[in-house]
Structure 1
Amino acid sequence: MNVERTIELTEYSPRKLEREEITPAIEEALWRNYRNQIKVESPSIQTGGKWKLTSQGWVGHIPLTPEFYLALLPKVQLKNLFGMLEYAYQLKSKSFRFLEGLIDCQSLEDFYSQIAYLLARRILDRGHKGFYRTYVPKTGQLAYVRGRLNIRQAIQKPWDVKLSCHYEEYSGDIEENQILAWTLFIIGRSGLCSERVSPTVRQAYHALQGFVTLQPSSAKACVGRLYNRLNEDYRPLHALCRFFLESSGVSHERGDRAMLPFLVDMAKLYELFVTEWLQENPPQGFFFKKQHPVEIGQNRHFRIDLMLCHVATGEARAVLDTKYKAPDRAADTDIHQMISYAKATKCSEAFLIYPTVLKEPLDITASDIRVRSLTFSLDDDLDQAGQSLSKDLPVLA
């Protein structure tokens, strides 16, 4: 009888395993599917004859075989992981109260289950009020005229008793609800929800299943959507769906079991979090532009994480970029990148933002551009850390 086993890996902290613990099947799964998430060093003299696995800034759950799992743990406290999600996915609102009752999670499975429960409960609440419906254009062969008749076809095929009509149908089988159904389907397949949460997820899925077609949805479908007074409460639901869809990898079939990984890219989450926090809390008289596109010729362009601009003039004053890593010193490539950003936007100030204080803080001037390192810590209260960053962010009037 095979026994399930879970190996825990904390971000950037290597862990060694005995030779026999990594079978050829596990080694192949790691190399084929997760070489960007896990650095794998084979047994050698340098590793003391053992396997050496290091998580590369990802958090989540990886099923490598039906019996062998990797749990990728964050360095940040789980309550702060929730806090980062609040800002990153724009869930901070009085009507939503994302963190309420969720910050006491003790494990990554709890973390996943709690967010899944929150989404399922909100979907059920919306179902009790009635799911959003709207008119959807349809074309069909009908026994009677409905909407607009296709005259050309009626003339070309007078023997056809069915009439081709273009009409509108009031329906709930629309993308707004299809996103919810697909996300609940993905959550249900993950196997990560607790026994307490799984029934609620199934209940929410069944509430949609009766009238919604199960259609694969991507995280991109959750972004840039238009809402109105009738479906405004779908906005945070789609934000949560985006989180699950971005974090759910491709399933790997093993026999009759579908194993779905759950992976959060902490570098991307950190970038989204810092960006949204600063946009909500800009220095007085200034505002931030995010993902600012810059053309560099020959149909090439790049996007700057953040640009600090003056409210009165719109003039760019500084460029900022997040780096979710904890090096002793800033990398030369990152410095050159920031100088290029500053030149392209005609700024004299550039900042690299890290989650920890560098052992060798950066403060250099090159080509009349000053490049410095700042810290947005994830160790304690996030808002206090943000205020500390703001105080360290020099702003020229």
Structure 2
Amino acid sequence: MSATVELVEHAPATGHVLPDAVGRALAASRVVDASPDPYTPGRWLLRAGSKVGAVSVDGPDLASPVTVRITPKVPITRLFFLLGYSLDPRGVRRDGQVDVAEHRDLLPALAHAVERQIDRALWQGLLQGYRETEESALVVRGRIRETDQIRRRFGAALPVEVTYDEFTTDIAENRILRSAVERLLRLPGVPREVRRRLLHHRLRLADVTPIVRGQVLPAWHPSRLNARYQHALHLARAVLSDASPEHAPGGLRIDGYLLNMNKLFEDFVTVALRESLRGTDLGCRLQASHHLDEAAAIRMKPDLVLYRPDGTPLAVADAKYKAEKRAGYPDADLYQMLAYCTALGLPEGHLVYAKGNEPHAAHRVRNAGVVIHQHALDLDQTPTALLADIASVSRHMRACLSV
């Protein structure tokens, strides 16, 4: 029987009796903050940060696996709205209702949601499309790759190096779905019934080549033909892009699913701000590279820069998931935003936090004429109210146009 450690995102450290190898593996992998208890041998102090989900630590020297489950502070349905909106803002349901059945933990809920979307995607059969194929053949098919023919065959007539377009199910969309199924089947904590349905989907996708972990996901482009696949593809990308390690020191293996709430909040805020600007003549860029100094030696990448119609910067925004501390907002964030505004020549900057201890605040920097706004978003509210708060931040950013 495996031992289970229950933690809560950003909660105070708690003590747990663990094998030293497991404690060291958790510390080295940065799944959680882990340190030995100086007063009690065999006891480790564990504190979860911004990663939520579940991982299992196992190895030949352990009597049984150890599962670490990290519960998010945000309710699962709200978390899935943030995830769905950041992946597909025009496809997510605005009422916040997500098909996660009765599951209250992240991994079972995610596995259920992905399986349901894949089932809907494949209900009418597998999508087919053209894929460019290169091979050595005894007959000419498609186009001869003359350079490869000379380099590999040294003048021999056969076999022929050819390239042709093949109409097949082994296309990017199906490969992504197959890979998400394979990933979920390897994870501990997927409910038995969901696992059974995933095995059925793997049979349906048996002729599709899965993506090797670590490889870049193949590109696909939304179209009328793959419309029924799109929701499933967005969720599959979340499954394949998680933050969990696979190996740990001492021959141990860590497997599971971890979602970085810092990254999720940043993606949601920037995508929602971008969507709020649709229909205007303003432009915005996410994670655009700029430089702080004239020699272009110090690079900076603000989360979002808003541009006037003539292409000059108008305002800048940065998303900060955790701002909770007794003294209020962190001062370091203000210094970073001031550097952004100074380098970009902007009169205003905006810091957007998950709700902490402070309401909206505005600071005018002495001798600089720069105003830095700090906004707080309450994530535990309805999607409609949350998007309304984002629209308010967007209006603040656009107010510079009248200045």
Q: What TM-score, normalized to structure 2? A: 0.82
Residues 62, 263 of structure 1: 8 Å contact kept: yes
Superposition map of 1:235-314 within 5 A: 235-247=230-242, 249-252=244-247, 260-282=255-277, 285=280, 286=282, 288-296=284-292, 297-298=295-296, 300-310=298-308, 312-314=309-311
Cα distance change, pair 185–253 in 1 and its aligned pair in 2 (3 A): farther
Structure 1 gap segments, 5+ residues each: none
Residues 57, 253 of structure 2: 8 Å contact kept: no
CA distance in 1, matches of 2:328, 2:340: 20
The answer to whether 1:43 aligns with 2:44 is: no
Instruction: Give the match for residue 89 of structure 1.
Output: 87
Residues 79, 104 of structure 1: 8 Å contact kept: no
Instruction: Give the match for residue 208 of structure 1.
Output: 205
Q: CA deviation at 1:361?
A: 6.1
Which moved further from structure 2: 347-356 or 101-110? 101-110
Instruction: Give the match for residue 61 of structure 2.
Output: none
The answer to whether 1:230 aligns with 2:225 is: yes
Alignment RMSD: 3.5
Instruction: Give the match for residue 112 of structure 1.
Output: 110
Residues 329, 358 of structure 2: 8 Å contact kept: no
CA distance in 2, matches of 1:17, 1:33: 19
The answer to whether 1:355 aligns with 2:354 is: yes
Amino acid at match of 1:329: G
3-state SS of the aligned residue for 1:122?
helix
Superposition map of 1:378-389 within 5 A: 378-389=379-390
The answer to whether 1:336 aligns with 2:335 is: yes
1:271-315, CA deviations, whole angstroms, 9 ceiling, x for partnerless residues? 0011112222239855543223213434543221122334x4444
The match for 1:166 among 162, 165, 168 is 162
Residues 120, 228 of structure 2: 8 Å contact kept: no
Cα distance change, pair 368–134 in 1 and its aligned pair in 2 (3 A): same
Aligned-pair identity in percent equals 21
Which moved further from structure 2: 233-242 or 186-195? 233-242
Residues 90, 276 of structure 1: 8 Å contact kept: no
CA distance in 1, matches of 2:330, 2:384: 28
Structure 2 gap segments, 5+ residues each: 59-63
CA distance in 2, matches of 1:351, 1:98: 27
Residues 291, 305 of structure 1: 8 Å contact kept: yes
Residues 112, 193 of structure 1: 8 Å contact kept: no
The answer to whether 1:194 aligns with 2:191 is: yes
3-state SS of the aligned residue for 1:320?
strand
Q: What TM-score, normalized to structure 1? A: 0.83
Higher relative contact order (CA 8 A, sep 6+): 2
Q: CA deviation at 1:83?
A: 0.7
CA distance in 2, matches of 1:192, 1:132: 33
Residues 116, 193 of structure 1: 8 Å contact kept: no
Q: CA deviation at 1:38?
A: 1.1
3-state SS of the aligned residue for 1:196?
helix
1:169-223, CA deviations, whole angstroms, 9 ceiling, x for partnerless residues? 33332333222222211111013321111122111112112x222331558526x
Cα distance change, pair 183–49 in 1 and its aligned pair in 2 (3 A): closer
Residues 147, 165 of structure 1: 8 Å contact kept: no
The match for 1:55 among 42, 48, 52 is 48
Cα distance change, pair 15–267 in 1 and its aligned pair in 2 (3 A): same
CA distance in 1, matches of 2:97, 2:32: 30
